[in-house]
């Protein structure tokens, strides 16, 4: 049996709660809806770090954040860490990336044979937090409330331009694979929307009745980390009006529909190129967005709107079902290897995830399922934070904060902290013991501080003198594109036509 193609489409900062595919009554996501209607929808999928780069490094490598020191948005992703792109190449796959992956460091491929676009964010150490000054705001790149106060409509933004390019080059490569009979291939198409700024084009904004946009439904959180986040994004001193909140949510919904349209473009290219039936499609995100719930915005929190992600799998062999057991993005690497079939290649590192392929094909879950999440970046209290989701319960720990325990089946909005509930004392104690066994908080803290010092020193040196940029420069050879004098233009026209013209015999 030929291995199927794998196409993963990733959104940035998309909480499943704000999609039609996961039941939101307003948000229009018709392409996600159709995939879910014929595929497997995972209803308790989590990122492994609620921040862009750490989540993506974890997803690529199948490793938890602290295992590979992927602490924040300026942590280097070492070239020595194997990724699913490396392993799939060993399985005979062509590997390609179009769009964002926020790789930091001189290796900007990490196993992908081709990268079709540059990245949208810098590849250096400029965005390094400083846990030695945890109360300091770095205004140049810290989130603030401007994205909420300035939400609205525009003809274009840097994010729109980026996603248009990402989709265009991905679509072109899909047809190129078909015309040159390249199979199997693994392509990641990674968009920046609906990540803030919350600014949408008019046609997507106009999909929604502004007055019908729902408002946040959760009361403000009073736990220490939420208070730190509110201070970090200046929500503690910059008031936003109800109309500004509604504008931000309106634009986010609009940009979610825009992302969904790009998903549709990729599916259409696969269908028109005759490759859809041979392709497993996965839709997910790097993390969610609080979007005003609990008074919080953006991510960096373990609450559901920040830490949960959509995960839909559709394609050959996948059954139509919903999976309620917890899982996470580190599970995708072993899932890809099982999709590829046959023996796995020798692994360069032990994996922290487990394959979801049998679940997608209809198998019964063994056990409660779990997701492990870690946070070691800005707005942390100079100490790491940890989350364990197992079965219906979520446990959140930080050495300097009171623990949190939520029963997500009975309390999906996480309104009641059960950590001190005597009925659940045994479960809370078991979680606390597991945290102590699984993580050495003091050692992690010292390593975070050490890497931050290293990166700040390197960045200061790179800013002095001649800069050698790590930002990815897409490779193009204009002399080989379209029609050139070393080729017969009729042959070029025939080669680049799909389906090919059926000549009469």
DSSP 381-420: -SS-EEEEEETTEEEEEETTS--EEEETTT-TT-----TT
- Which residue is it, tokens 């595919």? 21
Cβ-count burial 412-424 (b if 16+ within 10 Å, e if not): eebeebbbeeeeb
Q: Is 102 a catalytic residue?
A: yes
User: 135-138: which pairs have CB atoms within 8 A and are 24 or more residues apart?
Assistant: 137/232, 137/234, 138/378
CA distance 354 to 135: 38
Whole-angstrom distance, CA of residue 87 vs CA of residue 368: 28
At residue 48, the 3 state secondary structure works out as coil
- Contacts for 393 with CB less than 8 Å, ≥ 6 apart: 405, 406, 407, 408, 427, 431
SS (H, E, C) 235-266: CCCCCCCHHHHHHHHHHHHHHHHHHHHHHHHH
Beta strand 185-194 with 94-99 is parallel
Greatest distance between any 2 Cα atoms in the chain: 83
Q: Which residue among 52, 373, 376, 379 is the active-site one?
A: 52
Q: Which of 250, 234, 251, 246 is nearest to 157 (CA)?
A: 251
CB crowding 184-211: b at 16 or more within 10 Å, else e? bbbbbbbbbbbbbbbbbbeebbebbeee
Residue carrying the six token digits 């269908």 = 271
Give the SS3 label for residue 359. helix
Q: Exposed, middle or buried by CB within 10 Å (0-12, 13-18, 19+), for 45?
A: buried
Residue labelled with tokens 């998903």: 263
Catalytic residue among 31, 64, 86, 102: 102
- Residues with a known catalytic role: 52, 102
């Amino acid at each position: 049996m030929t291995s199927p193609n794998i196409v993963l489409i990733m959104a940035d900062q998309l909480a499943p709660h704000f999609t039609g595919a996961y039941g939101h009554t307003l948000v229009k996501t018709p392409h996600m809806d159709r995939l879910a209607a014929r595929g497997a929808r995972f209803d308790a999928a989590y990122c492994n770090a609620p921040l862009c780069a750490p989540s993506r490094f974890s997803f690529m490598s199948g490793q938890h954040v602290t295992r590979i020191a992927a602490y924040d948005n300026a942590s280097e992703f070492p070239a020595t860490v194997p990724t699913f792109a490396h392993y799939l190449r060993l399985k005979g796959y062509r590997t390609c990336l179009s769009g964002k992956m926020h790789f930091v460091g001189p290796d900007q491929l990490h196993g992908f044979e081709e990268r079709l676009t540059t990245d949208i964010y810098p590849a250096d150490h400029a965005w390094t937090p400083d846990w030695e000054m945890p109360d300091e705001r770095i205004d140049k790149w810290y989130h603030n409330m401007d994205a909420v106060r300035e939400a609205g409509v525009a003809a274009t933004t840097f994010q729109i331009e980026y996603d248009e390019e990402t989709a265009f080059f991905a679509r072109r490569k899909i047809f190129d694979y078909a015309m040159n009979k390249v199979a199997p291939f693994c392509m990641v198409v990674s968009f920046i929307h609906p990540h803030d700024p919350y600014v949408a084009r008019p046609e997507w904004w106009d999909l929604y009745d502004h007055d019908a946009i729902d408002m946040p439904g959760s009361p403000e959180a009073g736990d220490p980390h939420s208070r730190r986040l509110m201070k970090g994004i200046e929500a503690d001193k910059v008031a936003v009006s109800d109309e500004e909140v509604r504008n931000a949510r309106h634009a986010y919904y609009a940009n979610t529909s825009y992302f969904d349209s790009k998903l549709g473009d990729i599916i259409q290219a696969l269908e028109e190129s005759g490759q859809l039936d041979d392709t497993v499609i996965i839709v997910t995100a790097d993390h969610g967005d609080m979007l005003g719930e609990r008074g919080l915005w953006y991510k960096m929190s373990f609450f559901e709107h920040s830490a949960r992600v959509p995960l839909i799998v559709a394609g050959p062999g996948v059954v139509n079902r919903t999976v309620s057991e917890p899982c996470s993005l580190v599970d995708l690497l072993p899932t890809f290897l099982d999709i590829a079939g046959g023996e796995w290649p020798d692994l360069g590192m032990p994996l922290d995830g487990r394959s979801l392929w049998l679940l997608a094909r209809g198998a019964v879950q063994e056990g409660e399922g779990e997701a492990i999440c870690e946070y070691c970046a800005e707005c942390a209290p100079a100490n790491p934070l940890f989350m364990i989701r197992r079965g219906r319960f979520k446990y959140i720990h930080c050495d300097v904060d009171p623990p949190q325990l939520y029963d997500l089946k009975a309390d999906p909005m996480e309104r009641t902290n059960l950590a001190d509930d005597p009925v659940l004392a045994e479960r809370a104690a078991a979680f606390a013991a597991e945290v102590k066994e699984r993580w050495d908080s003091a050692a992690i803290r010292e390593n975070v501080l050490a890497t931050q010092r290293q990166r700040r020193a390197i960045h200061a040196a790179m800013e002095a003198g001649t800069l050698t940029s790590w930002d990815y420069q897409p490779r193009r050879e204009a002399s080989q594109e379209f029609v050139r004098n070393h080729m017969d233009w009729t042959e070029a026209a025939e080669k680049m036509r799909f389906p090919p013209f059926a000549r009469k015999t």
